[in-house]
Chain A
Amino acid sequence: SSELTQDPPVSVALGQTVRITCQGDTLRSYYASWYQQKPGQAPLLVIYLKNNRPSGIPDRFSGSSSGNTASLTITGAQAEDEADYYCSSRDSSGTHYVFGTGTTVTVL
């Protein structure tokens, strides 16, 4: 399957740590990237190639992967981290892209 399945909505207390996951068979072969999307805004790349942050992304964002699961961890969540998060990777062909189902993160 080329589907990427993400967690249901999650909440995290301000300053605490939250980890969200992305599952899919293709993650055994291809790295995941992660995107943050706030209401009414375009997605923003926060992690690429499993655990690399683009310039300007705070180091509280980190990525990891094991088997068919990729994870995004926010260590010390801030109010501004409240958003929808999408994982993405290649599909089983290795050429096309696929996005995950998305996870809404609420910071309490």
Chain B
Amino acid sequence: QITLTESGPTLVKPTQTLTLTCTFSGFSLTLNSNGVAVGWIRQPPGKALEWLALIYWDDDKLYRPSLKSRLTVTKDTSKNQVVLSMTNVDPVDTATYYCAHREASLDAFDVWGQGTMVTVSS
């Protein structure tokens, strides 16, 4: 059974760096996990889902073009964790942040974490 859990601060001040951790189980992101990836998606209050980033089993990474300069995604296979960092946050970055498992054969996010709400405010 695949599970993912997001963790991190609930409140961040403007201009600070936001760091979120996704701890997962039931799969691995190692070199023998061909096609598996973990994505980050966010949802501002009352608004639509917004894809942010993706990290593949082979450490290839993709970022939302409009946020690429502010985002970094890394993985720690020994801890079964994926970390998303976002620099220079602004109140518009206030959102629920989700991590999700992406199965290559589905080309979709088939299992999601419960999400973590992050507020950017001074």
What sequence of 0s and 1s flags, for each residue 48-79 of chain B, a beta carbon within 8 Å of any chain A beta carbon?
A: 11110010000000111100000000000000
Among B13-21, B81-89, B101-109, the one that faces the other chain is B101-109
> Using a CB-CB cutoff of 8 Å, which residues 106-122 of chain B contact chain A?
106-110, 112-115
The answer to whether B98 and A43 touch across the interface, beta carbons within 8 angstroms, is yes
The answer to whether A96 and B106 touch across the interface, beta carbons within 8 angstroms, is no
The answer to whether A49 and B112 touch across the interface, beta carbons within 8 angstroms, is no
The answer to whether B108 and A86 touch across the interface, beta carbons within 8 angstroms, is no
Q: What is the total of A-B residue contacts with beta carbons within 8 Å?
A: 60
B interface residues, how many (CB within 8 angstroms): 21
The answer to whether A99 and B49 touch across the interface, beta carbons within 8 angstroms, is yes
Q: In the complex, which residues of chain A have a beta carbon less than 8 angstroms from the beta carbon of B48?
A: 86, 99-102
Interface of B is mostly: strand
| A18 contacts partner chain B, Cβ-Cβ < 8 Å | no
| A58 contacts partner chain B, Cβ-Cβ < 8 Å | no
Residue of B whose beta carbon sits closest to that of A95: B62
Given A96-B62, A96-B64: A43 touches B49 (CB 8 Å cut-off) = yes
Interchain CA distance A43-B41 in the complex, whole Å: 10
Q: Looking at the complex, which one of B51, B63, B115 makes contact with A98 (CB distance below 8 Å)?
A: B51
Q: Which residues of B contact A (CB under 8 A)?
A: 39, 41, 48-51, 54, 62-65, 98, 106-110, 112-115
